[in-house]
């Protein structure tokens, strides 16, 4: 189906490989939304697919599809930028293609096993073959090892191409950051009987991905996109990028401490986690200001008219600037202090933050990059937003925002009743889950989930047709 | 790039160097703290338990002891309190047996994907109750609803029975599905839960299962 996204006009094989990753990313994004919808329905009708396709299965595929589609889109974006930035074809794109097919086959097998086999007996073989049972990084060990091999091929491609080609500031940040991003995965590949030790290292992967290296990745993507879309000056963009790296790593690395408040780790993490994670919104404000400032001041600096050459990509980039600050920054700051977090930890508050931040910080800019890819793939000079692009952006953003608000209300109910009034526990949990306003919030979450899915349908329609239309308009 | 910069604040090399220094410094600090934390969260030993030495994560043999969760005036929040010996499934477990049972339980918790409905130490999914202090939950104690429903006389037997046949004991429309948990695996899971309840979580969850009456009496409802 997605082969109707042509990449004929791309002269670089690296960029074509990037497009292959984008196609799979979009399919997995759709899978994520469907699984989320099943899980949302189960909150309202618990009998839905009970003992057939339980919440745990839907939720596992929901969050795994999320992580994997984003990694696919990131790899795609990297391959797309690589030859553009380094002015080099890419050292081993053929091998990169092989790695793509190996990875895609592995992902397919893992998902089929999740869906049809689901769980196994309490033995090592389950962890090796079926699922590792650790949120976000459930992939069984055989797949972990496969992922490491594929990522090594990918990284070698990027690194060797960087060395062989032109070394821009953007690519320097990219190469250094990807090394950390890939290396961190290793911290999640071992088994221990000690649950505190387990979660300590688990957070090294999860937090140092989404609150450090992934954010820096977004910074490099935004820098590249601003140069491509509005022709921003490289010196300005690269200076901002280094400032962002400074602030993101300066706050995010030790901000890891906000996951170490309650898992058995010592009390000094209260102060360290509170201080550094409270600073985490600062770089997000900077990124927001940077994108909007450049939009206002840098566009068309080379005297080209019209100044924005890719409408949908720019719209998603600006949504990213808002969404990253709102979803990751504000919603994260809400519950990052231990004084608050002792009540909010493990409630729907976290789910609200998760939805808003993954969408705001990552989904938006990765979709924007896909539009950049389409522009190149169809050799279009000027890509204007269509009705479908606008509906896709508006409905999915509105839907996710609605889910975020609904889950925040659910979380608020849960915090007050389950945690503050009744002090957690089995009975407290169910009393809060049955509160009318909690139930109502879950209903709104499901409705907003449908709105998001509708936005996704428009988005896919647009991705399939916008290139051809824009090409026809220019011909 | 060739243009001379008028101010250090717009100089790329300045920000690049600063980014490298700050990242390096933060990373080194994190690694140093990690070493310290590793020492503090390594599992204790049976000797520690016997001598009453408090460890943040006690030895697997903590399953042979009575565990409570009480307010500590000094620390300002609740902490696990390890008490007298108490049989677990009717016996005292040797170090080797306890370690093997905990291993089976932790492995089973992952193999059955518990974390994608429940939270453990507050992390996971929010579809089912938090399991951090589940061992101490009033629902499972004598006179608690869950123990009464399973018809068993101890917390561990009641929990093990429920885990093997969860959908036979429905309490709400939202039920736990049958996960083909064997009798041995269920014992392991209960050991895992009992061990987890003995971990010092800096007072999370706060006021665990406190009812209004107990609030007045200034105690917790753990048991």
Average pLDDT, stretch B184-200? 98
Measure B125 CA to nearest chain A CA, in Å: 8
Residue of A nearest to B20 (CA): A246
Residue A396 within a domain: no
A93 to chain B, any CB pair closer than 8 A? The answer is: no
Average pLDDT, stretch B125-146? 93
Among B116, B173, B181, the residue with its CB nearest the CB of A135 is B116
> What is the CB-side half-sphere exposure of residue A255 using CA atoms within 13 A?
29
Whats the size of chain A, residue-wise? 475
Q: Could you tell me where the beta strands, DSSP code E, fall in B73-214?
A: 77-85, 119-120, 123-124
Name which of A344, A195, A332 is nearest A276 in CA terms: A332
State the average pLDDT for chain B.
Answer: 91
A60 to chain B, any CB pair closer than 8 A? The answer is: yes
Residue of A nearest to B21 (CA): A246
What one-character DSSP code corresponds to residue A231? -
Q: Which of A425, A429, A431 to mutate to test the interface with B (most CBs of B within 10 A)?
A: A425
Helices (H), A209-266: 214-230, 234-255
**Contact call for A46 and B175, based on CB within 8 A:** yes
Q: Taking CB atoms and an 8 Å cutoff, what residues of chain B touch A346?
A: 119, 122-124, 126, 130
Q: Do the beta carbons of residue A42 and residue A55 sit within 8 Å?
A: yes
A135 to chain B, any CB pair closer than 8 A? The answer is: yes
Measure A185 CA to nearest chain B CA, in Å: 17
Residue A72's domain comprises 1-166
What does the alpha-carbon distance between residue A388 and residue A161 come to, in Å, rounded to a whole number?
37
Pairing of strands B119-120, B123-124: antiparallel
SS3 sequence of A34-91: HHHHHHHHHHHCCCCCCCCCCHHHHHHHHHHHHHHHHHHHHHHHHHHHHHHHHCCCCC
A256 to chain B, any CB pair closer than 8 A? The answer is: yes
B50 to chain A, any CB pair closer than 8 A? The answer is: no
Question: How high is the pLDDT of residue B142?
Answer: 87
Q: Taking CB atoms and an 8 Å cutoff, what residues of chain B touch A256?
A: 30
Write out the two tokens for A332.
Answer: 């994260």
Phi, psi of B84 (to 5 degrees): -75, 165
pLDDT grade for B214, boundaries at 50, 70 and 90: low
A120 to chain B, any CB pair closer than 8 A? The answer is: yes
Dump pLDDT digits (tens) for B79-109. Answer: 999 999 999 999 999 999 999 999 999 999 9
Dump pLDDT digits (tens) for B139-183. Answer: 999 888 899 999 999 999 999 999 999 989 999 999 999 999 999
- With a CB-CB cutoff of 8 Å, which residues 163-182 of chain A face chain B? 169
Phi, psi of B72 (to 5 degrees): -105, 120
Q: Do the beta carbons of residue A55 and residue B127 sit within 8 Å?
A: yes
Phi, psi of B67 (to 5 degrees): -120, 135
What does the alpha-carbon distance between residue A82 and residue A223 come to, in Å, rounded to a whole number?
14
State whether residue A383 is helix, strand or coil: strand
- With a CB-CB cutoff of 8 Å, which residues 89-128 of chain B face chain A? 99, 102-117, 119-128
Question: How high is the pLDDT of residue A297?
Answer: 76
Question: How high is the pLDDT of residue B1?
Answer: 47
**Contact call for A430 and B172, based on CB within 8 A:** yes
Residue A419 within a domain: no
Measure A134 CA to nearest chain B CA, in Å: 7
Write out the two tokens for A428.
Answer: 């407290």
SS3 sequence of A111-157: HHHHHHCCCCCCCHHHHHHCCCCCCCCCCCHHHHHHHHHHHHHHHHH
* pLDDT above 90: percentage of residues in chain B: 82
**Contact call for B206 and A419, based on CB within 8 A:** yes
Average pLDDT, stretch B8-31? 94
Among B108, B109, B207, the residue with its CB nearest the CB of A423 is B207
Q: Do the beta carbons of residue B147 and residue B158 sit within 8 Å?
A: yes
Helices (H), A265-330: 268-279, 281-297, 311-323
Question: How high is the pLDDT of residue A293?
Answer: 83
pLDDT grade for B210, boundaries at 50, 70 and 90: low
Architecture of the domain defined by B45-217 = Orthogonal Bundle (1.10)
ω into A306 cis (within 30 of 0): yes
Question: How high is the pLDDT of residue B212?
Answer: 46
Dump pLDDT digits (tens) for A97-149. Answer: 999 999 999 999 999 999 999 999 999 999 999 999 999 999 999 999 999 99
Among B12, B102, B172, the residue with its CB nearest the CB of A169 is B12
> What is the CB-side half-sphere exposure of residue A109 using CA atoms within 13 A?
15
- Structure-token match 């790296």, residue found: A245
Name which of A28, A42, A55, A37 is nearest A111 in CA terms: A28
Q: Between chain A and chain B, how many beta carbons pairs sit less than 8 Å apart? A: 271
Which ranges of chain A have pLDDT less than 70? 1-7, 300-306
Residue A136 within a domain: yes
Measure B65 CA to nearest chain A CA, in Å: 18
Residue A120 within a domain: yes
Q: Taking CB atoms and an 8 Å cutoff, what residues of chain B touch A430?
A: 129, 171-172, 174
pLDDT grade for B218, boundaries at 50, 70 and 90: low
- C-alpha distances in angstroms, A394 versus A162, A315, A316, B79, B164? 37, 10, 10, 49, 47
Residue A110 within a domain: yes
Beta bridge partners of B85: B65
Name which of A225, A161, A255, A210 is nearest A366 in CA terms: A225
CA B14 to chain centre: 46
**Contact call for A127 and B110, based on CB within 8 A:** yes
**Contact call for A346 and B122, based on CB within 8 A:** yes
Residue A194 within a domain: no
State whether residue A97 is helix, strand or coil: helix
Question: How high is the pLDDT of residue B208?
Answer: 86
Q: What is the CATH number of the domain that holds A110?
A: 1.20.210.10
């Amino acid at each position: 189906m997605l082969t109707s996204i042509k990449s004929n006009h791309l002269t670089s094989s690296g960029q074509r490989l990037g497009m292959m990753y984008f196609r799979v990313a979009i399919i997995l994004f759709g899978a994520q939304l469907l699984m989320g919808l099943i899980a949302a329905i189960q909150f309202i009708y618990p009998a839905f697919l009970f003992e057939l396709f339980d919440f745990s299965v839907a939720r596992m595929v929901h969050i795994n599809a999320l992580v994997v589609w984003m990694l696919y889109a990131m790899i795609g974006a990297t391959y797309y930028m690589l030859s553009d930035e380094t002015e080099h074809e890419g050292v081993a794109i053929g091998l990169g293609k092989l790695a793509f097919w190996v990875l895609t086959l592995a992902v397919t097998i893992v998902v089929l096993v999740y869906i049809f086999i689901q769980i196994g007996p309490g033995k090592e073989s389950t962890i090796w073959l079926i699922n590792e049972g650790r949120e976000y990084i459930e992939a069984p060990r055989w797949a972990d090892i496969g992922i490491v091999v594929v990522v090594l091929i990918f990284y070698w491609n990027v690194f060797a191409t960087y060395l062989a080609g032109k070394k821009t500031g953007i690519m320097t940040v990219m190469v250094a950051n990807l090394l950390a991003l890939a290396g961190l995965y290793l911290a999640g590949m071992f088994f221990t009987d000690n649950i505190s030790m387990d979660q300590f290292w688990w957070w090294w992967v999860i937090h140092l991905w989404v609150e450090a290296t992934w954010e820096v990745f977004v910074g490099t993507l935004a820098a590249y996109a601003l140069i491509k879309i509005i022709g921003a000056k490289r010196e300005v963009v690269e200076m901002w990028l280094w400032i962002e790296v400074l602030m993101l790593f300066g706050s995010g690395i030790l901000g890891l401490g906000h996951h170490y408040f309650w898992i058995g780790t010592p009390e000094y993490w209260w102060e360290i986690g509170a201080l550094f994670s409270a600073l985490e919104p600062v770089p997000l404000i900077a990124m927001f200001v940077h994108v909007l400032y450049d939009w206002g001041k840098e566009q068309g600096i080379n005297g080209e008219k019209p100044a924005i050459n890719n409408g949908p990509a720019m719209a998603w980039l600006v949504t990213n600037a808002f969404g990253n600050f709102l979803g990751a920054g504000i919603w994260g700051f809400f519950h990052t202090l231990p004084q608050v977090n002792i009540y909010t930890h493990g409630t729907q508050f976290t789910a609200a933050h998760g939805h808003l931040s993954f969408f705001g910080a990552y989904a938006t800019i990765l979709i924007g990059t896909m539009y950049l890819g389409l522009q190149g793939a169809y050799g279009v000079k000027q890509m204007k937003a269509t009705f479908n692009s606008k509906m896709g952006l508006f409905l999915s953003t509105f839907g996710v925002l609605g889910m975020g608000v609904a889950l925040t209300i659910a979380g608020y109910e849960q915090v007050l009743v389950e945690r503050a009034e009744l002090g957690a526990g089995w009975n407290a949990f169910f009393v809060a889950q049955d509160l009318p306003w909690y139930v109502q919030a879950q209903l709104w979450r499901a409705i907003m989930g449908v709105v998001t899915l509708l936005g996704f349908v428009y988005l896919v329609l647009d991705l399939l047709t916008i290139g051809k239309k824009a090409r026809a308009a220019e011909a | 790039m060739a243009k001379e910069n008028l101010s250090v604040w717009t100089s790329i090399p300045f920000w690049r160097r600063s980014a490298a220094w700050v990242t390096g410094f933060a990373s080194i600090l994190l690694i140093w703290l990690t070493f310290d934390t590793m020492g503090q969260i390594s599992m204790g030993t049976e000797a520690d338990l016997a001598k009453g030495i408090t460890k943040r994560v006690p030895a697997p043999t903590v399953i042979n002891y009575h565990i409570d969760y009480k307010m500590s005036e000094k620390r300002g929040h609740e902490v696990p309190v390890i008490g007298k010996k108490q049989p677990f499934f009717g016996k005292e477990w040797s170090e080797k047996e306890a370690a093997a049972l905990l291993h089976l339980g932790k492995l089973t918790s992952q193999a059955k994907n518990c974390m994608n409905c429940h939270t453990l130490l507050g992390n996971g999914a929010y579809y089912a109750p938090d399991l951090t202090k589940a061992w101490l939950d009033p629902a499972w104690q004598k006179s608690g609803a869950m123990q009464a429903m399973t018809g068993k006389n101890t917390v561990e037997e009641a929990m093990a029975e429920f885990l093997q046949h969860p959908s036979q004991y429905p309490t709400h429309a939202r039920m736990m599905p049958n996960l083909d948990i064997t009798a041995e695996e269920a014992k392991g899971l209960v050991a895992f839960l009992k061990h987890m309840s003995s971990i010092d979580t800096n007072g999370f969850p706060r006021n665990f299962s406190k009812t209004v009456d107990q609030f007045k009496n200034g105690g917790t409802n753990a048991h």
